[in-house]
Amino acid sequence: MTLILQDLTITTAGRAPLIQHFDLDIPAGAIATVMGPSGCGKSTLLAAINGSLSHDFSLQGQILLNGKAIHDLPMEQRHIGTLFQDDLLFPHMNVFENMAFGIPPGTHRRERQLQIETALQEAGLAGFERRRIDTLSGGQRARISLLRTLLSQPKAILLDEPFNKLDQQLRSQFRQFVFDLIRERQIPALLVTHDSQDRPEYGQLIQLENNHA
Ligand SMILES: Nc1ncnc2c1ncn2[C@@H]1O[C@H](COP(=O)(O)OP(=O)(O)OP(=O)(O)O)[C@@H](O)[C@H]1O
């Protein structure tokens, strides 16, 4: 699986292009990092990739996932998982119910149960199925959120500052957990961050400028 961005230009009416002639090639299991000042277009770039770009923007160029052009497909057909600063879990539901949202519809009940159980075991959270989200620690919630994304079998993962709300120690633990799973599953990933410590030791670094001021 590879994610390739080819000659991407993102514009909005009446302003200089936000992103211009942008190229990036992310092989399976690699994590590329995008950094840059506030407003330079990091989140907009991710939105262009996962199909949630606002209609205020226009996009030129190509986005290829495993060789297939996805830039004209609706979000649900792109198979891209995104993790945000907020874990977007439903606090009053339990872990099982939250994780079940990640599993493709039509999956048999027993199979769904097995997938959730296995994922929890691998993450050191065996037996957490019936725990309500609002009784979990920040680190546990972060892990559940990543597991839910992985259950949807994404072909690429976008990380939009997902470590931001965690304190220093949890932050480095969760970062390692995310990086290890991405490498293990051989999924291409794109990380957006303000903090150079969030970068994996390997992978490209792309510095965006603020062209849009
Ligand atoms: N719907 C929109 N229409 C027009 N301009 C927009 C829209 N949404 C965002 N922008 C502008 O696009 C630019 C890029 O925003 P974006 O959120 O991608 O930046 P960012 O690099 O992710 O910033 P931050 O680090 O603060 O999250 C900003 O100047 C923002 O004001």
Q: What is the pLDDT of residues 97-126, one digit of tens each?
A: 999 999 999 999 999 999 999 999 999 999
pLDDT on residue 209: 87
Q: How far is CA 209 from CA 150, 166, 195, in A?
A: 31, 27, 16
Q: How far away, in angstroms, is 66 Cα from ligand 1 center?
A: 28
Question: d(Cα 147, Cα 119) in Å, to the nearest integer?
Answer: 7
Return the CATH fold of 1-78+194-212. Answer: Rossmann fold (3.40.50)
Q: Any idea which residue has 């680190």 for tokens?
A: 139
Neighbouring-strand partners of residue 9: 60
**pLDDT score for 119:** 97
Identify the residue whose C-alpha is closest to ligand 1 atom 26.
38
Q: ipTM > 0.90?
A: yes
Q: Would you give the distance in Å from CA 205 to the centre of its chain?
A: 17
The confidence score (pLDDT) of residue 50 equals 98
Q: What is residue 34's predicted lDDT score, i.e. its pLDDT?
A: 97
Residues in the chain with pLDDT values less than 50: none
Q: Please, are residues 156 and 65 in contact by the beta-carbon 8 Å criterion? A: yes
Distance 200 CA to ligand 1 centre (A): 25
> pTM higher than 0.90, yes or no?
yes
- Measured from the CB, is residue 140 less than 6 Å from ligand 1? no
How far is the centre of ligand 1, averaged over its atoms, from the C-alpha of 67 (Å)? 29
Give residue limits of the domains in the chain. Answer: 1-78+194-212
Tokens in use for 168? 């220093």
Query: How many CA atoms does the CB half-sphere of 12 hold within 13 Å?
Result: 13
Helix, coil or strand: residue 112 = helix
Query: DSSP letters of 56-104?
Result: TEEEEEEEEETTEE-TTS-GGGT-EEEE-SS----TTSBHHHHHHTTSP
What local confidence, expressed as pLDDT, does residue 211 receive?
74
13 CB within 6 A, ligand 1: no
Instruction: Note the pLDDT of residue 55.
Output: 95
